[in-house]
Amino acid sequence: LGSLFSGPNLSGITSDTLKVAGVRHASTLELSEEGVEASATTAVTTMRSISLFSANSPFFFALVDDASLAPLFMGLVTNPAPDHMLNDDPGRNNGTMSDQPEMEKLSPE
């Protein structure tokens, strides 16, 4: 299982580059006068490799449900200044989302 987290070859699933983000397992055991009942579930979460996105002017974005086309989240980046960008230099301390430009949340109407 450990090899899934260190550059696995998942080409049999998709041609996209995927990374395993986590594995969760839960199990239950119920003991009663009628007997024992056990159940288990395992979930593997994957993520695509992150692409660098750079913007030099304000922009609007939306996260939309594929099936219903309903907007789930919308935002507006008003100041994508270069000094707010993530640091992608591995020799330096990488930035976090707190380094990003401020975004205004927009309510779906």
Per domain, the residue ranges of the chain are 2-48, 59-106
Q: What is the pLDDT of residues 28-68, one digit of tens each?
A: 878 778 877 888 777 766 666 556 667 778 888 888 888 89
In whole angstroms, give the CA distance from residue 107 to residue 73: 8
pLDDT of res. 42: 73
Residue 71: is it exposed, middle or buried by C-beta count within 10 angstroms (0-12/13-18/19+)? Answer: middle
- Residue 16 pLDDT grade (very low, low, confident, very high; cuts 50, 70, 90): confident
Which residues lie across from 32 on neighbouring strands?
Answer: 35
- Reported pTM: 0.32
